[in-house]
Amino acid sequence: MNFFKYPQLVQASQNPPDLKKLLTPERITSFQAEAAGLKLLYATERVSDPILHALFSLADDRQAVNQMKAMQAGERVNAIQGYESENRPALHTAMRDVFEASKRSPIAQAAVDLAKKEIEKLRMFLPQVEEFTDIVQVGIGGSFLGPEAVYVGLKAYSLKGKRAHFISNVDPDETTKVLSSLDLSKTLIIIVSKSGSTLETMTNELLAREKLKDAGLNPKDHLIAVTGKESPMDDPAKYRASFYMWDYIGGRYSVTSMVGGVMLGFTLGIETYLEFLKGAHEMDLVALEENPKKNLPLLGALLGIWNRNFLNLPTVAVIPYSQALARFPAHLQQLDMESNGKHINKEGKVVDYNTGPIIWGEPGTNGQHSFFQSIHQGTTIVPLEIIGFKETQYGEDLMVQGSYSQEKLLANLFAQAIALAQGQENSNPNKVFTGNRPSSILFAQKLDPFTMGKLLAYYEHKVVFQGFIWNINSFDQEGVQLGKKLATEMIKTFEEVRGRKVPTYKLGEAYLKNLE
């Protein structure tokens, strides 16, 4: 991958379009794309038609859409050529391809059949646990962030009296706080770990079992397993029910598998959960579109590549103007940074260009009263990915001083995009806004379950498309292994210090002196 093979883009990046001059009503109207009811408004990105066309060529050269087709067909996209690697497919799209009969590769078909079976199991299971009011999901990483983001996002659609809670961290205070606030006799606890051996999750499972026993309950009646078939957790003697996931579902892509399914089915009801899956599936089809103006995730990916590799912007802030999406940036942080925070390409060569940026964000308008000072006037330019909806979820609103709250919310959303692009001159240097700070807006009618599914899949595919273009493996996470290895050393050191032995790990011993 050599971005300098694109002289037009390199040249354009030296003198990118000046939004202060270019931002007109016509540009706002024409620089947009729409698919599956989602609109991407990108008039405030520093692009022009020639730049877009050059970016489309780049996607074409990198066979982006063909790679997406290969992924959805079950080819082994999770691999590094010439080296030991996970060497397997990434078939999260099969988890929601459960609505129509269609022609699929045998591998995708097999994954779809298994996914359908789990959904049917869930449909049969839910009526058996109707007397429960609360469900605690014990899991970390992808077994936590995506499910939590979707649960919080769709809380307005939860069944009356059904609530979910999450325990992720190995921090024992977290487990105590969550479990001590609940009536455990009415609580189900899902343990989620593909390997059945995640340190944090296994530890918290045992803490939860103790708490259930202390409350005079039989843990087995309350515990549900979500795990890989034949993992150490796949043991009917220990769980009320077990649901399966597979090695072709990466943690950060697992929300639409049973990793999210059991908890969301419990809180939303099975039909609403299926609506959510349907939305994701609809976006999966959009991602197969050849025309990048219709392929929304690909278009979003290319705008990101422009900002990252040509305008050299190190971060991206995701700003949903919807408090329901408060935890969505934390999910995207994992999805994007764990997928594309890589330093070698798919042939095992060190890359000489930037890969995945730092992803962060908080809801608007909150962010405006926090870090937006820096977004407008700081020395590091931050492109924004703004998300907004025309309608509220609850349908409750009030006119105050001539306008509704939802109107105020959206007025702020659009005003920020304009202000960042246009800037402002002033004789007081502290009131000068340099402008030309890029943003885009992803816009939909309403954050309902169907739209939530589309939004989730939009970002999954945007990230994967960027990985395809950067020629990296977006599906493994070797970068987390060294920390795990050294943590094991450190735990041993703790045990040695506790047992008054001389620790063998001298760096660890030096740190543990701070605990004396």
Single-letter code of the amino acid located at 314: P
Which residue, 262 or 359, is less far from its own copies as judged by CB? 359
Q: Select from 390, 477, 480, 486 the least CA-distant residue to 441.
A: 390
Structure tokens at 237: 């003697």
Structure tokens at 413: 């959303």
Query: At 416, which helix (H) or strand (E)?
Result: helix 405-422
Structure tokens at 85: 């690697």
Asked about 205 being catalytic, the answer comes back as no
Which residue, 103 or 160, is less far from its own copies as judged by CB? 160
Which residue, 117 or 343, is less far from its own copies as judged by CB? 343
Output DSSP code: residue 183.
-
Which residue, 99 or 511, is less far from its own copies as judged by CB? 511
Alpha helices (H) along 224-371: 258-268, 270-286, 296-305, 328-340
Which residue, 186 or 349, is less far from its own copies as judged by CB? 349
C-alpha 79/C-alpha 87 separation (Å) is 4
Structure tokens at 79: 């691999």
Residue 192 · residue 226 · CB < 8 Å: yes
Asked about 407 being catalytic, the answer comes back as no
Q: How far is the CB of 289 from its own copies (least distance, A)?
A: 21
**What is the Cα 507 distance to its own chain's centre?**
35
Q: How far is the CB of 72 from its own copies (least distance, A)?
A: 24
Q: How far is the CB of 380 from its own copies (least distance, A)?
A: 5
Q: How far is the CB of 117 from its own copies (least distance, A)?
A: 28
Peptide bond into 365 cis (omega under 30): yes
Dihedral angle, C-alpha 194, 199, 204, 206, nearest 10 °: 90
SS3 assignment, position 388: strand
User: Measured on CA atoms in the order 403, 405, 410, 415, is the torsion positive or negative?
Assistant: positive
Which residue, 41 or 280, is less far from its own copies as judged by CB? 41
Catalytic position from the list 338, 346, 385, 461 = 338
Which residue, 92 or 376, is less far from its own copies as judged by CB? 376
Catalytic position from the list 103, 484, 485, 513 = 484
Residues with Cβ < 8 Å from 145, sequence gap 6 or more? Answer: 252, 327, 330, 331, 333, 334
SS3 assignment, position 441: strand
Q: How far is the CB of 485 from its own copies (least distance, A)?
A: 8
Which residue, 72 or 272, is less far from its own copies as judged by CB? 272
Asked about 385 being catalytic, the answer comes back as no
Q: How far is the CB of 233 from its own copies (least distance, A)?
A: 15
Angstrom CA distances, 436 to 20, 52, 314, 375, 456, stand at 6, 17, 16, 11, 29
Exposure string of 361-394, with b = 16+ CB inside 10 Å and e = fewer, is bbbbbebbeebbeebbeeeebbbbbbbbbeebbe
Q: Select from 284, 278, 241 the least CA-distant residue to 263.
A: 241
Q: How far is the CB of 192 from its own copies (least distance, A)?
A: 12
Q: If you count them, how many residues does the chain have?
A: 516
Q: How far is the CB of 171 from its own copies (least distance, A)?
A: 4
Catalytic position from the list 103, 369, 485, 513 = 369
C-alpha 135/C-alpha 27 separation (Å) is 48
Catalytic residues: 338, 369, 484
